[in-house]
Structure 1
Protein backbone atom coordinates (compact mmCIF):
# COMPACT_ATOMS: atom_id res chain seq x y z
CA UNK A 1 0.00 0.00 0.00
CA UNK A 2 1.45 3.31 -1.06
CA UNK A 3 1.05 6.68 0.63
CA UNK A 4 2.03 8.55 -2.53
CA UNK A 5 0.12 11.68 -3.42
CA UNK A 6 -2.31 11.38 -6.31
CA UNK A 7 -1.04 12.70 -9.63
CA UNK A 8 -1.80 16.35 -10.33
CA UNK A 9 -5.05 17.00 -12.14
CA UNK A 10 -4.87 17.59 -15.86
CA UNK A 11 -5.44 21.05 -17.25
CA UNK A 12 -8.90 20.10 -18.47
CA UNK A 13 -9.81 18.76 -15.01
CA UNK A 14 -8.63 22.00 -13.41
CA UNK A 15 -10.60 24.30 -15.73
CA UNK A 16 -13.70 22.10 -16.15
CA UNK A 17 -15.45 23.99 -13.33
CA UNK A 18 -15.18 27.22 -15.31
CA UNK A 19 -16.44 25.95 -18.68
CA UNK A 20 -20.10 26.15 -17.73
CA UNK A 21 -19.63 29.62 -16.24
CA UNK A 22 -18.02 30.78 -19.51
CA UNK A 23 -21.09 29.73 -21.51
CA UNK A 24 -23.47 31.27 -18.96
CA UNK A 25 -21.54 34.55 -18.88
CA UNK A 26 -21.22 34.70 -22.67
CA UNK A 27 -24.93 34.05 -23.17
CA UNK A 28 -25.87 36.81 -20.75
CA UNK A 29 -23.34 39.29 -22.08
CA UNK A 30 -24.35 38.65 -25.69
CA UNK A 31 -28.00 39.23 -24.81
CA UNK A 32 -27.45 42.49 -22.90
CA UNK A 33 -26.69 44.76 -25.90
CA UNK A 34 -30.00 43.74 -27.51
CA UNK A 35 -31.83 45.00 -24.44
CA UNK A 36 -29.65 48.11 -24.28
CA UNK A 37 -30.61 48.93 -27.88
CA UNK A 38 -34.29 48.81 -26.98
CA UNK A 39 -34.16 50.48 -23.57
CA UNK A 40 -31.38 53.04 -23.92
CA UNK A 41 -30.62 53.43 -27.61
CA UNK A 42 -27.08 52.12 -27.06
CA UNK A 43 -25.07 50.08 -29.59
CA UNK A 44 -26.82 51.66 -32.55
CA UNK A 45 -30.31 51.11 -31.17
CA UNK A 46 -33.03 53.68 -31.57
CA UNK A 47 -34.33 53.62 -28.01
CA UNK A 48 -37.54 52.71 -26.29
CA UNK A 49 -40.05 54.86 -28.19
CA UNK A 50 -38.80 53.53 -31.53
CA UNK A 51 -38.73 49.96 -30.20
CA UNK A 52 -42.33 50.26 -29.02
CA UNK A 53 -43.34 51.68 -32.40
CA UNK A 54 -41.50 48.89 -34.23
CA UNK A 55 -43.18 46.21 -32.13
CA UNK A 56 -46.57 47.73 -32.98
CA UNK A 57 -46.13 48.55 -36.66
CA UNK A 58 -43.73 45.89 -37.92
CA UNK A 59 -44.56 42.96 -35.64
CA UNK A 60 -48.19 43.68 -34.79
CA UNK A 61 -47.38 43.30 -31.08
CA UNK A 62 -48.29 45.63 -28.21
CA UNK A 63 -45.68 48.31 -27.59
CA UNK A 64 -45.30 47.36 -23.93
CA UNK A 65 -43.73 44.08 -25.08
CA UNK A 66 -40.74 46.13 -26.29
CA UNK A 67 -40.25 47.34 -22.72
CA UNK A 68 -40.60 43.80 -21.36
CA UNK A 69 -38.22 42.43 -24.00
CA UNK A 70 -35.64 45.11 -23.25
CA UNK A 71 -35.83 44.44 -19.51
CA UNK A 72 -35.50 40.68 -19.94
CA UNK A 73 -32.63 41.02 -22.40
CA UNK A 74 -30.65 43.65 -20.49
CA UNK A 75 -31.30 42.89 -16.84
CA UNK A 76 -31.98 39.19 -17.37
CA UNK A 77 -28.80 38.95 -19.43
CA UNK A 78 -26.86 40.66 -16.64
CA UNK A 79 -28.33 38.32 -14.03
CA UNK A 80 -27.50 35.30 -16.20
CA UNK A 81 -23.94 36.51 -16.78
CA UNK A 82 -23.41 36.96 -13.05
CA UNK A 83 -25.27 33.82 -12.09
CA UNK A 84 -27.58 35.78 -9.81
CA UNK A 85 -31.19 34.62 -9.68
CA UNK A 86 -30.09 32.37 -12.49
CA UNK A 87 -33.09 30.07 -12.69
CA UNK A 88 -35.63 32.91 -12.78
CA UNK A 89 -33.62 35.05 -15.21
CA UNK A 90 -32.95 32.09 -17.48
CA UNK A 91 -36.61 31.02 -17.43
CA UNK A 92 -37.70 34.53 -18.47
CA UNK A 93 -35.07 34.60 -21.22
CA UNK A 94 -36.07 31.15 -22.47
CA UNK A 95 -39.75 32.10 -22.52
CA UNK A 96 -38.97 35.28 -24.45
CA UNK A 97 -36.75 33.47 -26.95
CA UNK A 98 -39.34 30.76 -27.61
CA UNK A 99 -42.02 33.45 -28.04
CA UNK A 100 -39.75 35.23 -30.53
CA UNK A 101 -39.18 31.99 -32.43
CA UNK A 102 -42.89 31.50 -33.06
CA UNK A 103 -44.24 35.08 -33.09
CA UNK A 104 -41.49 36.74 -35.14
CA UNK A 105 -39.13 34.36 -36.94
CA UNK A 106 -41.01 31.10 -37.62
CA UNK A 107 -42.46 32.21 -40.95
CA UNK A 108 -38.98 33.04 -42.29
CA UNK A 109 -37.78 29.46 -41.83
CA UNK A 110 -34.76 28.12 -39.98
CA UNK A 111 -31.73 30.08 -41.16
CA UNK A 112 -30.86 33.35 -39.43
CA UNK A 113 -29.40 34.82 -42.63
CA UNK A 114 -32.95 34.91 -44.00
CA UNK A 115 -34.55 36.16 -40.78
CA UNK A 116 -35.20 32.65 -39.50
CA UNK A 117 -35.47 31.30 -36.00
CA UNK A 118 -32.16 29.47 -35.45
CA UNK A 119 -30.54 32.24 -33.34
CA UNK A 120 -33.36 32.78 -30.82
CA UNK A 121 -33.95 29.01 -30.69
CA UNK A 122 -30.31 28.38 -29.77
CA UNK A 123 -30.35 31.05 -27.03
CA UNK A 124 -33.71 29.79 -25.79
CA UNK A 125 -32.33 26.28 -25.36
CA UNK A 126 -29.18 27.60 -23.65
CA UNK A 127 -31.30 29.67 -21.27
CA UNK A 128 -33.65 26.75 -20.62
CA UNK A 129 -30.68 24.61 -19.59
CA UNK A 130 -29.74 27.20 -16.93
CA UNK A 131 -33.36 27.51 -15.82
CA UNK A 132 -33.31 23.76 -15.17
CA UNK A 133 -29.92 23.37 -13.49
CA UNK A 134 -29.07 26.80 -12.12
CA UNK A 135 -25.94 28.90 -12.32
CA UNK A 136 -23.44 26.27 -11.27
CA UNK A 137 -20.47 26.37 -8.94
CA UNK A 138 -19.03 29.62 -10.30
CA UNK A 139 -22.08 31.84 -9.84
CA UNK A 140 -23.22 34.45 -7.37
CA UNK A 141 -26.11 32.12 -6.51
CA UNK A 142 -23.59 29.47 -5.41
CA UNK A 143 -21.54 32.03 -3.49
CA UNK A 144 -24.60 33.28 -1.63
CA UNK A 145 -25.56 29.70 -0.81
CA UNK A 146 -22.06 28.96 0.51
CA UNK A 147 -22.23 32.03 2.78
CA UNK A 148 -25.68 31.18 4.12
Structure 2
Protein backbone atom coordinates (compact mmCIF):
# COMPACT_ATOMS: atom_id res chain seq x y z
CA UNK A 1 0.00 0.00 0.00
CA UNK A 2 2.94 2.34 0.64
CA UNK A 3 4.03 2.19 -3.00
CA UNK A 4 0.49 3.05 -4.11
CA UNK A 5 0.57 6.14 -1.89
CA UNK A 6 3.92 7.19 -3.35
CA UNK A 7 2.62 6.60 -6.89
CA UNK A 8 -0.53 8.65 -6.26
CA UNK A 9 1.53 11.47 -4.76
CA UNK A 10 3.75 11.54 -7.85
CA UNK A 11 0.70 11.39 -10.10
CA UNK A 12 -0.97 14.37 -8.43
CA UNK A 13 2.09 16.60 -8.67
CA UNK A 14 3.07 15.64 -12.20
CA UNK A 15 -0.50 15.81 -13.50
CA UNK A 16 -1.02 19.31 -12.10
CA UNK A 17 2.23 20.63 -13.54
CA UNK A 18 1.95 18.88 -16.90
CA UNK A 19 -1.66 20.05 -17.30
CA UNK A 20 -0.37 23.60 -16.90
CA UNK A 21 2.26 22.99 -19.54
CA UNK A 22 0.34 20.86 -22.04
CA UNK A 23 -3.23 22.09 -21.61
CA UNK A 24 -2.81 25.57 -20.14
CA UNK A 25 -4.93 24.54 -17.14
CA UNK A 26 -4.45 25.71 -13.54
CA UNK A 27 -3.01 29.04 -14.64
CA UNK A 28 -0.47 27.48 -16.99
CA UNK A 29 0.86 29.02 -20.17
CA UNK A 30 0.15 26.07 -22.47
CA UNK A 31 2.51 24.06 -24.63
CA UNK A 32 3.88 26.65 -27.07
CA UNK A 33 4.86 29.11 -24.35
CA UNK A 34 6.27 26.35 -22.13
CA UNK A 35 8.41 24.84 -24.88
CA UNK A 36 9.60 28.26 -26.04
CA UNK A 37 10.42 29.30 -22.47
CA UNK A 38 12.34 26.13 -21.61
CA UNK A 39 14.19 26.16 -24.90
CA UNK A 40 15.25 29.79 -24.61
CA UNK A 41 15.86 29.91 -20.86
CA UNK A 42 17.63 26.59 -20.42
CA UNK A 43 19.10 25.99 -23.87
CA UNK A 44 17.20 22.74 -24.37
CA UNK A 45 16.31 21.46 -27.83
CA UNK A 46 12.62 21.92 -28.65
CA UNK A 47 12.09 18.17 -29.13
CA UNK A 48 13.47 17.49 -25.65
CA UNK A 49 11.07 20.02 -24.13
CA UNK A 50 8.17 18.14 -25.75
CA UNK A 51 9.53 14.82 -24.46
CA UNK A 52 9.63 16.31 -20.96
CA UNK A 53 6.05 17.58 -21.10
CA UNK A 54 4.70 14.25 -22.38
CA UNK A 55 6.79 12.27 -19.90
CA UNK A 56 5.19 14.24 -17.07
CA UNK A 57 1.68 14.01 -18.49
CA UNK A 58 1.65 10.34 -19.49
CA UNK A 59 3.76 9.46 -16.46
CA UNK A 60 1.09 10.85 -14.14
CA UNK A 61 -1.48 8.42 -15.60
CA UNK A 62 1.08 5.62 -15.48
CA UNK A 63 1.50 6.19 -11.75
CA UNK A 64 -2.27 6.13 -11.12
CA UNK A 65 -2.81 2.93 -13.10
CA UNK A 66 0.45 1.27 -12.16
CA UNK A 67 1.06 0.56 -15.85
CA UNK A 68 4.60 0.73 -17.26
CA UNK A 69 5.34 2.19 -13.87
CA UNK A 70 9.07 1.65 -13.67
CA UNK A 71 9.64 2.94 -17.21
CA UNK A 72 7.88 6.19 -16.35
CA UNK A 73 9.50 6.35 -12.90
CA UNK A 74 12.83 6.36 -14.72
CA UNK A 75 11.60 9.05 -17.13
CA UNK A 76 10.32 11.24 -14.31
CA UNK A 77 13.62 10.82 -12.46
CA UNK A 78 15.57 11.97 -15.51
CA UNK A 79 13.14 14.86 -16.12
CA UNK A 80 13.56 16.14 -12.56
CA UNK A 81 17.34 15.66 -12.66
CA UNK A 82 17.43 17.90 -15.73
CA UNK A 83 15.18 20.41 -13.92
CA UNK A 84 17.62 20.50 -11.00
CA UNK A 85 20.61 20.87 -13.33
CA UNK A 86 19.13 23.52 -15.61
CA UNK A 87 16.74 25.49 -13.38
CA UNK A 88 17.27 24.97 -9.66
CA UNK A 89 20.88 24.09 -8.79
CA UNK A 90 22.15 27.66 -8.66
CA UNK A 91 19.30 28.63 -6.32
CA UNK A 92 20.54 26.46 -3.46
CA UNK A 93 18.70 23.77 -1.53
CA UNK A 94 15.60 25.37 -0.06
CA UNK A 95 12.38 25.71 -2.02
CA UNK A 96 11.22 28.86 -0.26
CA UNK A 97 13.33 31.80 -1.34
CA UNK A 98 12.78 35.49 -1.72
CA UNK A 99 10.32 36.48 -4.44
CA UNK A 100 11.90 36.58 -7.87
CA UNK A 101 14.99 34.57 -6.88
CA UNK A 102 13.87 31.14 -8.06
CA UNK A 103 13.46 27.90 -6.18
CA UNK A 104 16.10 25.58 -4.80
CA UNK A 105 16.37 21.84 -5.42
CA UNK A 106 14.52 20.38 -2.43
CA UNK A 107 11.12 19.82 -4.10
CA UNK A 108 12.67 18.32 -7.23
CA UNK A 109 14.89 16.15 -5.05
CA UNK A 110 11.86 14.77 -3.18
CA UNK A 111 10.15 13.93 -6.47
CA UNK A 112 13.31 12.16 -7.64
CA UNK A 113 13.47 10.14 -4.43
CA UNK A 114 9.79 9.18 -4.74
CA UNK A 115 10.28 8.12 -8.37
CA UNK A 116 13.40 6.15 -7.42
CA UNK A 117 11.40 4.32 -4.74
CA UNK A 118 9.01 3.17 -7.48
CA UNK A 119 11.84 2.42 -9.91
CA UNK A 120 13.63 0.24 -7.35
CA UNK A 121 10.66 -1.13 -5.39
CA UNK A 122 8.30 -1.62 -8.31
CA UNK A 123 4.69 -0.49 -8.50
CA UNK A 124 3.40 -2.69 -5.69
CA UNK A 125 0.50 -5.15 -5.73
CA UNK A 126 -2.19 -2.54 -6.43
CA UNK A 127 -1.14 -1.98 -10.04
CA UNK A 128 -1.80 -3.18 -13.57
CA UNK A 129 1.88 -4.11 -13.87
CA UNK A 130 1.41 -6.51 -10.93
CA UNK A 131 -1.80 -7.96 -12.38
CA UNK A 132 -0.10 -8.53 -15.75
CA UNK A 133 2.84 -10.25 -14.06
CA UNK A 134 5.29 -7.55 -15.12
CA UNK A 135 6.26 -6.53 -11.60
1:77 aligns with 2:60: yes
Superposition deviation, residue 124 in structure 1: 0.7
Q: 1:140 aligns with which of 105, 115, 128?
A: 128
Return the TM-score normalized by structure 2: 0.87
In structure 1, the residue matched to 2:100 is: none
Indicate conservation of the 8 Å contact 2:14/2:60, yes or no: yes
2:85 alignment counterpart = 102
Counterparts of 2:115 and 2:48, CA distance in 1: 19
2:112 to 121, 124, 127: 124
> 1:56: how far off?
2.3
Query: Which structure is higher in RCO with an 8 Å CA cutoff and minimum separation 6?
Result: 2
Looking at structure 2, the residues matched to 92 and 57 of structure 1 have their Cα atoms a distance apart, in angstroms, of 22
Report how far residue 57 of structure 1 moved: 2.6
Matches within 5 A, 1:1-148: 18-114=1-97, 115-145=103-133
Secondary structure at the counterpart of residue 145 of structure 1: coil
Write the distance in 1 (CA, Å) between the matches of 2:74 and 2:35: 23
Indicate if the aligned counterparts of 2:3 and 2:118 stay in contact, CA closer than 8 A: no
Normalised by the length of structure 1, the TM-score is 0.80
Deviation at 1:133, TM superposition (A): 1.9
- 1:69-116 deviation per Cα after TM superposition (whole angstroms, max 9, x unaligned): 211111011101221111101000011111111121000000111210
Structure 2: tracts of 5 or more residues without a match: 98-102
SS in 2 for 1:58: helix
CA RMSD, Structure 1 to Structure 2 (Å): 1.5
Q: Distance in 2 between matches of 1:128 and 1:21?
A: 14
CA contact (8 A) 1:38 1:67 kept: no
